[in-house]
């Protein structure tokens, strides 16, 4: 397993963060016509057949008796819980507060792996780099975090729980038999389990698809094909081959990209702190990965 990321892996991580940042805009557009929990499940419904086809083309068996069922199911449950909690949080607290709390996930990942994996220990340099990258995230949203919350403590706790679930998902993958199987199979456990959110959303009284405009349907297609299938397959490929502590600081770029795309697509203001945050996050990434 590699330490510092090679340039190709770093470039792929930046591309993934840009895609996930655009995904936040796609979700926001999709909510105009599809209720949240059902939307999460539907994107998995799009991604699962694509992933099965991809596995067939690559000769990857979708199912094997190799001891991965229970950790795979656990990782899938964490994945589903993450998105359920995040969408519930967005209904109770501000988007800025939810974003910052969600992106505490790298800290939960590196702490968990520090305790479980001897080859991915935290060092002072890694802690300093992560702290600097997270400071960049706080700077990006400083102008919004100071505003009075229009939600509740429950919303903040749900967003924090979503970040914990995300971090623990990576820990489960790295510290279990999932680390030794094809990334496609790891992803299949994730998005396959998330399919239960479709009937669950309806059981909880959601409307489902109530305004299927072209923009809403394009948003759902982007989430299913690009995010839930292509980007997550690439992410799990990286997780299987590189140390989580090297990947973690890149994740703080995602909300920065979301702010930039929000300005381009939705006309949201793009402030000077965003530029400053890019510098801080970039510095954190360099500190963690310098060889």
Q: Looking at residue 291, what is its pLDDT?
A: 52
Asked whether 21 and 261 are in contact (CB, 8 A), the reply is yes
**188 part of a folded domain:** yes
Based on the number of CB atoms within 10 Å of its own CB, is 146 exposed (0-12), middle (13-18) or buried (19 or more)? exposed
Helix (H, G, I), strand (E, B) or coil at 9: helix
Structure tokens that stand for 118 in this block: 């001897």
The end-to-end CA distance of the chain, in Å, is 15
Q: Residue 34's beta-bridge partner residues?
A: 209
Q: Looking at residue 235, what is its pLDDT?
A: 85
Q: Looking at residue 200, what is its pLDDT?
A: 92
**36 part of a folded domain:** yes
Total domain count, the chain: 1
What sections of the chain are H helices per DSSP? Answer: 7-30, 36-58, 69-90, 95-102, 105-116, 124-140, 142-145, 153-175, 183-194, 197-203, 214-222, 232-241, 244-247, 253-265, 272-289
Q: How far apart are CA 89 and CA 91, in angstroms?
A: 5
Q: Looking at residue 83, what is its pLDDT?
A: 86
Q: Looking at residue 76, what is its pLDDT?
A: 93
Segments in the chain below pLDDT 50: 148-149
Q: Looking at residue 222, what is its pLDDT?
A: 95
Q: For 234-243, b where at least 16 C-beta lie within 10 A, e where not — what string?
A: bbbbbbbebb
pLDDT in tens, 155-188: 778 888 998 998 899 889 888 888 888 888 989 9
Structure tokens that stand for 190 in this block: 């994730």
Phi, psi of 275 (to 5 degrees): -65, -40
**132 part of a folded domain:** yes
Q: Looking at residue 93, what is its pLDDT?
A: 67
Q: Looking at residue 213, what is its pLDDT?
A: 95
Helix (H, G, I), strand (E, B) or coil at 34: strand
Based on the number of CB atoms within 10 Å of its own CB, is 59 exposed (0-12), middle (13-18) or buried (19 or more)? exposed
The torsion region of residue 123 among left (phi > 0), alpha (psi -120 to 50) and beta comes to: beta
List C-alpha distances in Å: 4 to 83, 120, 174, 189, 264: 30, 11, 17, 28, 33
Helix (H, G, I), strand (E, B) or coil at 60: coil
**263 part of a folded domain:** yes
**1 part of a folded domain:** no
Q: Looking at residue 165, what is its pLDDT?
A: 94
Q: Looking at residue 142, what is its pLDDT?
A: 67
**2 part of a folded domain:** no
> Comparing C-alpha atoms, which of 37, 54, 43, 104 is closest to residue 252?
104
pLDDT in tens, 6-17: 888 999 999 999
**Domain limits for position 213:** 7-289
């Amino acid at each position: 397993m590699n330490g510092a990321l090679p340039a190709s892996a770093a470039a792929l991580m930046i591309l993934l963060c840009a895609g996930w940042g655009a995904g936040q805009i796609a979700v926001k557009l999709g909510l105009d016509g599809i209720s949240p929990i059902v939307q999460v499940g539907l994107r998995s419904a799009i991604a699962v057949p694509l992933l099965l086809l991809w596995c067939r083309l690559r000769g990857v068996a979708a199912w094997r008796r190799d001891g991965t069922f229970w950790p795979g199911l656990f990782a899938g449950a964490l994945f589903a819980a993450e998105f359920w909690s995040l969408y519930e949080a967005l209904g109770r607290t501000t988007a800025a507060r939810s974003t910052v709390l969600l992106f505490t996930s790298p800290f939960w990942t590196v702490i968990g792996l520090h305790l479980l994996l001897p080859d991915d220990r935290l060092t002072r340099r890694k802690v300093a780099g992560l702290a600097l990258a997270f400071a960049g995230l706080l700077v990006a949203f400083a102008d919004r975090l100071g505003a009075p919350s229009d939600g509740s403590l429950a919303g903040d706790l749900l967003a924090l729980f979503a970040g914990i679930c995300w971090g623990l998902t990576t820990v489960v993958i790295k510290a279990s038999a999932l680390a030794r199987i094809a990334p496609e199979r790891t992803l299949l456990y994730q998005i396959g389990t998330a399919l239960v959110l479709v009937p669950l959303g309806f059981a909880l009284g959601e409307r489902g698809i109530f305004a299927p405009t072209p923009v809403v349907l394009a948003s759902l297609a982007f989430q299913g094909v690009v995010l839930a299938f292509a980007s997550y397959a690439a992410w799990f490929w990286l997780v299987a081959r590189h140390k989580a502590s090297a990947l973690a600081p890149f994740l703080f770029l995602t909300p920065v990209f979301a702010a930039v795309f929000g300005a381009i697509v939705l006309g949201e203001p793009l402030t000077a702190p965003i530029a400053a945050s890019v510098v801080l996050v970039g510095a954190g990434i360099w500190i963690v990965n310098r060889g």
